[in-house]
A and B are shown apart, each in its own frame.
Chain A
Amino acid sequence: MIIARDEIRDLYDAYYGVLDDVDLHAWPDFFTEDCLYRVIPRENHEAGYTLCTMQAESRGMLKDRVTGLTRTQMYAPRYYRRFPTAPRVTAQDEASVSVRHNLLVVQTLVDKQSDIILSAVCHDRIVRDGDRLRFVERVVVFDSEMIPNSLVYPA
């Protein structure tokens, strides 16, 4: 699949922009209808376990994650800011482009110093879906051994 580097950069700029702005309702739309989204501890990933800290197997489940978060969960107010490295294309075929990059997610709670909540590598697969690029798969494998309490927002 021919996808230009610039387009990939634009996709990530928009994706992380939406998340940093906590525009959660716009988030699921970055994924195809049938997608796989995982935020998974490195130890699980390496052992071949599929158990995740957050998982969605469709855009519907991503929307449910947003619903759960905004309408049912209780959590202290916080800021999340994501620091991705530049995307590196690792494979390409007719259907998709595989991209990898590192990601730091920094959390700031009221009255607290900022904390790294995730130190991760993202294994993404991107496709052209209609008029835009979307993730068909995004697996965020985090090194962090001990999450500082809750992981509230997605990565």
Chain B
Amino acid sequence: MNIPVRPPEGENRRAWPADVDAAVPYWVYTDPAIYAEELQKIWYAPHWLYVGLECELAEVGDWKTTTLGEKPCVMVRSGEDEISVVENRCAHKGVKFCQTRTGHSKELICPYHQWSYALNGDLQGVPFRRGVKRQGGMPSDFDPKDHSLNKLRVEVVNGVVWATFSDETPPFREYLGEKFWKHYTRVYDGRKLEVLGYNRQHIPANWKQMQENIKDPYHAGLLHVFFATFGLFRADQKSAVDIDDEGRHGILISRKGEQEKTEAMADIRNFQGDLVLEDPRVMDVVQEFPGEETVGMITIFPSVILQQQVNSLTTRQIVPKGPGGFDFHWTHWCYADDTPEMRLRRTRQANLFGPAGFVSADDGEVLEMTQQGAAGSPDEHFILQMGGREIAPTDHQVTETAVRGMYRYWRKVMGL
């Protein structure tokens, strides 16, 4: 039995499986109308979106371009202690005026008719506004104040810049909730951050799949033979899944074990017990955060994954590109006071992540394969029964609870 979630007739006829929390129809990945609604109800709605790291803008006038939802935006250091995020779309005719990834300027100028904006987005200059030789010019009711760039609300939280299109978004800390504030500040603890470098890839899969992937600890020790083999993430290790009260954010917590054959291995077909690294420096891991956990993978809905996997720290920004794909922007970072050895260690461990990562490449591949399977059967559904049907934190990783949580929240905001 399916439950209609749209008028039963007509183009948008859609149904949700009766097993509401533990089944999801594939059209959530493929339907252009659903995708268009997601942009409005999720990306441009009361949610905080990841923009970048504060340390990417050292001086007043430094800026960096990015995309939030599908809208090009610029993050600018508009004052000593002020970061602005504005839409990268000229108020005159829509030109995306900043074209490079980064830049520095005293004001933002559109190349088309040279309108100029202050760093905070205020319109300052309109050439020939008063005409030339009393000819032309803007009408007398033209008020520059009505034509600033669209300004987003911004919060800079322990080195990370967040922005939202909505006036109704609660303060960032409230948006996370107290539990996730704790998870967040475990790594983003107020120390200064520094960029180590970037990786960018386009993954031909629906953007939600990326959120699901990092809310799904079930796959980590199975798909990722590298993880399982070297004990970085495995079903029999002490671990936990936490989700916020809304079900939208998640964290996978685990601790590293050894390369050993255990009972759980019987279910891991590809475990490579005899695999040795010729040069194990890539696995030279040090414990740097309080507690015994070595992994904390946070998904902040909808836009980002905050990765702490051993000593590799990254933000992975999701930029949706239609129902069938998203751009994935990785910022690998370190603490500004890290020793050269620590920086080298983090750089080395990056071999596990990104588009060529021993681990992460698996994810990109399997997400693409999922999209391929889903695309032809939008009205079939996938199941999320691992760990039961509950949506609650667990102290193990044999569960899809956080994925169920996300879809319950998703249905709520989508009104489905």
Residues of A within 8 A of B (CB): 39-41, 43-44, 47, 49-61, 63-65, 67-68, 71-76, 145-152
CB-CB under 8 A from A61, the residues of chain B are 278-279, 281-282, 351
Checking A53, A60, A75, A147 against B202 with a beta-carbon cut-off of 8 angstroms, the contacting residue is: A147
Task: Please state if B369 and A149 are interface contacts (CB–CB under 8 Å).
Answer: no
**Interface set, chain B 347-364, CB cutoff 8 A to A:** 347-348, 350-351, 354-356, 358, 361-362, 364
Task: Please state if A54 and B200 are interface contacts (CB–CB under 8 Å).
Answer: no
**What separation, in Å, do the CA atoms of A63 and B365 have in the docked complex?**
23
Task: Please state if B365 and A76 are interface contacts (CB–CB under 8 Å).
Answer: yes
**What separation, in Å, do the CA atoms of A39 and B351 have in the docked complex?**
11
Helix, strand, loop or mixed for chain B's interface? mixed
Task: Please state if B278 and A60 are interface contacts (CB–CB under 8 Å).
Answer: yes
Task: Please state if A149 and B204 are interface contacts (CB–CB under 8 Å).
Answer: yes
B126 within 8 A of partner (CB): no
Task: Please state if B350 and A55 are interface contacts (CB–CB under 8 Å).
Answer: yes
Task: Please state if B281 and A149 are interface contacts (CB–CB under 8 Å).
Answer: no
CB-CB under 8 A from A55, the residues of chain B are 347-348, 350-351
Q: In whole Å, how far is A57's beta carbon from the nearest beta carbon of chain B? A: 7
B1 within 8 A of partner (CB): no
B270: nearest chain-A partner, CB-CB: A72
Q: In whole Å, how far is A78's beta carbon from the nearest beta carbon of chain B? A: 10
Q: In whole Å, how far is A153's beta carbon from the nearest beta carbon of chain B? A: 9
CB-CB under 8 A from A150, the residues of chain B are 201, 355-356, 361, 364-365
Q: In whole Å, how far is A37's beta carbon from the nearest beta carbon of chain B? A: 11
B334: nearest chain-A partner, CB-CB: A51
Contact sample, A vs B, 25 pairs, CB 8 Å cutoff: A40-B197, A41-B197, A41-B200, A49-B196, A51-B332, A54-B356, A57-B348, A61-B278, A61-B279, A61-B281, A67-B275, A67-B277, A71-B225, A72-B275, A72-B358, A74-B365, A75-B361, A75-B365, A76-B369, A146-B200, A148-B201, A148-B204, A149-B355, A150-B201, A152-B356
Using known A-B contacts A60-B278, A146-B327, A152-B361, determine if residue A74 contacts B200 with beta carbons closer than 8 Å.
no
CB-CB under 8 A from B226, the residues of chain A are 68, 72-73
**Interface set, chain B 216-261, CB cutoff 8 A to A:** 223-226, 229
Task: Please state if B366 and A149 are interface contacts (CB–CB under 8 Å).
Answer: no
B368 within 8 A of partner (CB): yes
Give 16 new A-B contacts, CB below 8 A, not counting A56-B279, A147-B200: A41-B200, A53-B354, A58-B279, A64-B278, A64-B282, A72-B358, A74-B225, A75-B362, A146-B200, A146-B202, A147-B355, A149-B364, A150-B356, A150-B361, A150-B365, A151-B355
**What separation, in Å, do the CA atoms of A43 and B101 have in the docked complex?**
9
CB-CB under 8 A from B355, the residues of chain A are 53, 147, 149-151
Residues of B within 8 A of A (CB): 101, 195-204, 223-226, 229, 270, 272, 275, 277-279, 281-282, 327, 332, 347-348, 350-351, 354-356, 358, 361-362, 364-366, 368-369
CB-CB under 8 A from A145, the residues of chain B are 200
Task: Please state if A73 and B366 are interface contacts (CB–CB under 8 Å).
Answer: no
Task: Please state if A151 and B198 are interface contacts (CB–CB under 8 Å).
Answer: no
Helix, strand, loop or mixed for chain A's interface? mixed
CB-CB under 8 A from B369, the residues of chain A are 76
**What separation, in Å, do the CA atoms of A54 and B354 have in the docked complex?**
9
Checking B197, B275, B281 against A57 with a beta-carbon cut-off of 8 angstroms, the contacting residue is: B281
Task: Please state if B272 and A72 are interface contacts (CB–CB under 8 Å).
Answer: yes
Q: In whole Å, how far is A73's beta carbon from the nearest beta carbon of chain B? A: 6
Task: Please state if B278 and A74 are interface contacts (CB–CB under 8 Å).
Answer: no
CB-CB under 8 A from A58, the residues of chain B are 278-279
**What separation, in Å, do the CA atoms of A43 and B100 have in the docked complex?**
11
Checking B196, B202, B356 against A148 with a beta-carbon cut-off of 8 angstroms, the contacting residue is: B202
**What separation, in Å, do the CA atoms of A59 and B355 have in the docked complex?**
22
**What separation, in Å, do the CA atoms of A61 and B284 have in the docked complex?**
13
Task: Please state if A50 and B275 are interface contacts (CB–CB under 8 Å).
Answer: no
Using known A-B contacts A54-B356, A61-B278, determine if residue A149 contacts B202 with beta carbons closer than 8 Å.
yes
Task: Please state if B101 and A74 are interface contacts (CB–CB under 8 Å).
Answer: no
**What separation, in Å, do the CA atoms of A62 and B369 have in the docked complex?**
28
Task: Please state if B364 and A49 are interface contacts (CB–CB under 8 Å).
Answer: no
B358: nearest chain-A partner, CB-CB: A68
Q: In whole Å, how far is B232's beta carbon from the nearest beta carbon of chain A? A: 11
**What separation, in Å, do the CA atoms of A49 and B199 have in the docked complex?**
12
Using known A-B contacts A39-B356, A51-B332, A152-B356, determine if residue A73 contacts B362 with beta carbons closer than 8 Å.
yes
Q: In whole Å, how far is A121's beta carbon from the nearest beta carbon of chain B? A: 18
**What separation, in Å, do the CA atoms of A56 and B358 have in the docked complex?**
13
A155: nearest chain-B partner, CB-CB: B356
Q: In whole Å, how far is B264's beta carbon from the nearest beta carbon of chain A? A: 17
B325: nearest chain-A partner, CB-CB: A149
Checking B348, B351, B365 against A149 with a beta-carbon cut-off of 8 angstroms, the contacting residue is: B365
